[in-house]
């Protein structure tokens, strides 16, 4: 065990899993081992962990449900942090939804609908955590988290706990300040509105049916691979270019949704990266459009 891991094990920072394969934690089912996966169970353990990592200058990253992420075949050096079960609580206070950073974004949307609260219908098909949704300013169906965000409690990489409002977060398309100033969301407050339970349920059912018909949800994938360019859709461009079914190794452009890449069984991160590069080059050559990845590549190259 590396020295820093030995020192962390003495600090009560949660469960520590050395050399943990990241393929077990990503929706693409791809990824080599992390030096350590660490699972803090409460804010005190998390703050202690972040302080220790900062003091020892150990690189770290956060993982939620493992969607929207491509992990290197060589794995991740340093610490990977995954919030434990204590960070999954959801509660409501009037029109406000309070959710811990590790709570399922889908589960939150379903619970809000049952409370007769509208504003989270778009989240019903986003397979991540609340913390990840804040980090990414997650969105779908013409809406995103920034429209309902009120505040969040965040543990900074120094171990300091801060509270940020919507203005502090500097939200834009699939972006928040956390992508520039690292920290971990431990709790978020969302401001919803009263709505009709039946109308909310109907909207969510329609979105779910649409996803089932248009997205390869039964196969390992990571959601949309590329961001939509201004005024257009990446899926439309990729399909029009005739790239559905294009394959590199075990990675394939979905025949159901052109902006999804599926793992057909034995795909590696290098397969996915190579396929993404071929897609980008083809679209740039044919249409002069430069596609920007929506998924994050993490780990050692």
Residues with a known catalytic role: 174, 224, 294
Helix (H, G, I), strand (E, B) or coil at 243: coil
DSSP code at position 256 = S
Phi and psi at residue 169, in whole multiples of 5°? -75, -15
E runs forming strands in the chain: 15-21, 33-39, 60-62, 69-71, 76-81, 90-93, 96-100, 117-118, 139-140, 143-144, 149-156, 161-165, 183-191, 193-194, 247-248, 251-253, 261-263, 296-298
Name the DSSP letter for residue 228. Answer: P
Dihedrals phi, psi of 151, to nearest 5 degrees: -165, 165
As given in the structure block, the two tokens for residue 276 are 């993404």
- What would the two tokens of residue 93 be? 């206070």
Q: Other CB atoms closer than 10 Å to residue 241's CB: what's the count?
A: 16
Alpha-helical segments (H) within the chain: 3-8, 43-56, 105-114, 130-136, 166-169, 197-214, 234-240, 269-287
Which residues have CB under 8 Å from 52's CB, separation 6+? 7, 8, 11, 13, 58
């Amino acid at each position: 065990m590396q020295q820093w891991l030995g020192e962390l094990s003495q600090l009560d920072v949660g469960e520590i899993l050395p050399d943990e394969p990241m393929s077990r934690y990503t929706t693409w089912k791809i990824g080599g081992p992390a030096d350590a996966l660490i699972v803090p169970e409460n804010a005190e353990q998390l703050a202690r962990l972040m302080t220790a990592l900062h003091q020892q200058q150990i690189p770290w990253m956060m993982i939620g449900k493992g969607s929207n992420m491509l992990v290197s075949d060589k794995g991740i050096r340093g610490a990977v942090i995954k919030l434990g079960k204590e960070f999954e609580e959801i509660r409501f206070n009037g029109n406000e939804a309070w959710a811990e950073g590790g709570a399922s974004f889908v589960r939150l949307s379903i619970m809000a609908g049952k409370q007769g609260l509208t504003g989270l219908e778009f989240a019903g098909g986003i397979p991540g955590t609340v913390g990840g949704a804040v980090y990414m300013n997650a969105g779908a169906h013409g809406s995103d988290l920034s429209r309902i965000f009120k505040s969040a409690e965040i543990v900074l990489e120094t171990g300091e706990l801060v509270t940020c409002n919507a203005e502090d977060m500097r939200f834009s398309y699939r972006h928040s300040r956390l992508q520039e100033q690292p920290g971990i969301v431990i709790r978020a407050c969302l401001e919803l509105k009263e709505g009709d339970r039946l109308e909310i349920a109907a909207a969510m059912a329609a979105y779910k049916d649409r996803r089932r018909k248009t997205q390869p949800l039964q196969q390992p994938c990571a959601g949309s691979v590329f961001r939509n360019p201004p005024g257009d859709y990446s899926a439309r461009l990729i399909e029009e270019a005739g790239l559905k079914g294009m394959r590199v190794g075990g990675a394939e452009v979905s025949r159901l949704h052109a902006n999804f890449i599926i793992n057909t069984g034995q795909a590696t991160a290098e397969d996915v990266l190579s396929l993404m590069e071929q897609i980008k080059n083809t679209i740039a050559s044919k249409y002069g459009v430069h596609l920007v990845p929506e998924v994050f590549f993490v780990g050692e190259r």
